């Protein structure tokens, strides 16, 4: 836990504006529409005088990159293997906020990734860590594995010292990215980020990025997992954030078993994805037969393009 002032992140809006101007937010249009409120907590709530930032360790222990060597299994980001973290963290914040108002008065507002709050810059200003070259928060005590929450209060609380940057010359997080999502240190292009592509993105994944995604089916931990500061991290103790067995390493064969059926899915996006998947899974002769039978029935341009591209050797 740490405390900071609402005016402690003057650089955040400039950095966000550049991110948006570059189009690096992809189709996360809500980031642009809420940009003015993100740059200064007082734009979100004019009465706020202090921001309490809190982090909860969700490290599962072990090596999150080990799953990438198991090509028959799907890799799911560590944070998504457990119960919804919002449901775990928000009640805790609300309990702390009730205690705070009972003890010291004032008004409070609680946020867990649910409003236009720039949690990472605020957490850095409050001393919880610093934003590494991968733009995520890094803690000297917990490495990369912190969920963040915020309590805005009208109380005038003494602020903590901000954390300085301890990345040094290391660029492990930049070099490990399989889709080259970092154009330079401290800058992310979400349009190439696997977490964005598998969670936030609403359209087809660019063809040139599909194969580099490997067996990552929901999110990606690569840039977090390689950070040297993780050597100080300890496994989290919150049982509700423990990984559920069915989400640790689901068999890809079972997940891909329905690809033929999905050629008839109501969504053109799903049908197009099924076309590409089958072009990789089936022998060329079998796929050509399938294409001859199904391609002529398709009227959606997106899916027709997928059939055409899949039948072009250079696009395989």
Is 112 in contact with 89 (CB distance < 8 Å)? yes
- Alpha-carbon distances of 281 from 40, 253, 267, 291, rounded to whole Å: 49, 10, 21, 14
- In angstroms, the CA 251 to CA 71 distance is 9
Neighbours of 72 (CB within 10 A): 9
Q: Name the catalytic one among 113, 221, 222, 265.
A: 113
Q: Which two tokens stand for residue 125?
A: 């200003």
How far apart CA 152 and CA 149 sit, in angstroms, is: 10
Pairing type for strands 75-76 and 50-57 reads unpaired
Rounded CA-CA distance 49/244 in Å is: 40
Phi-psi region of 252 (alpha: psi -120 to 50; beta: other; left: phi over 0): alpha
Active site residue 113: yes
Active site members: 113
């Amino acid at each position: 836990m740490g405390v900071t002032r609402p005016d402690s992140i003057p650089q955040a809006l400039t950095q966000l504006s550049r991110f948006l101007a570059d189009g690096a937010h992809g189709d996360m249009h809500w980031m642009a529409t809420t940009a003015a409120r993100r740059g200064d907590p007082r734009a979100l709530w004019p009465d706020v005088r202090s921001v309490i930032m809190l982090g909860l360790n969700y490290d599962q222990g072990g090596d999150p990159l080990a799953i990438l060597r198991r090509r028959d299994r799907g890799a799911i980001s560590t944070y998504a293997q457990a119960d919804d973290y919002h449901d775990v963290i928000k009640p805790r914040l609300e309990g702390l906020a009730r205690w705070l108002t009972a003890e010291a008065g004032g008004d409070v507002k609680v946020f867990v990734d649910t409003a236009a709050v720039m949690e990472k810059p605020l957490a850095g200003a409050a001393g919880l860590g610093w934003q590494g070259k991968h733009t995520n928060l890094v803690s000297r005590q917990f490495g990369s594995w912190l969920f963040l929450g915020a309590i805005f209060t009208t109380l005038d609380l003494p602020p903590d010292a901000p954390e300085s940057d301890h990345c040094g010359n290391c660029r492990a997080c930049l070099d490990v990215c399989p889709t080259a999502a970092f154009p330079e240190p401290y800058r992310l292009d979400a349009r190439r980020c696997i977490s964005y592509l598998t969670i936030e993105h609403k359209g087809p994944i660019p063809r040139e990025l599909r194969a580099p995604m490997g067996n990552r089916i929901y999110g990606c931990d690569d840039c977090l997992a390689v950070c040297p500061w993780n050597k100080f991290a300890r496994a989290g103790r919150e049982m509700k954030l423990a990984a559920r067995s069915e989400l640790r390493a689901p068999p890809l064969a079972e997940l891909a078993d329905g690809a033929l059926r999905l050629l008839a899915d109501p969504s053109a996006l799903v049908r197009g994805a099924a076309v590409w998947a089958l072009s990789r899974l089936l022998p060329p002769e079998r796929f050509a037969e399938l294409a001859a039978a199904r391609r002529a029935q398709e009227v959606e341009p997106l899916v027709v393009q997928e059939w055409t591209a899949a039948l072009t050797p250079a696009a395989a």
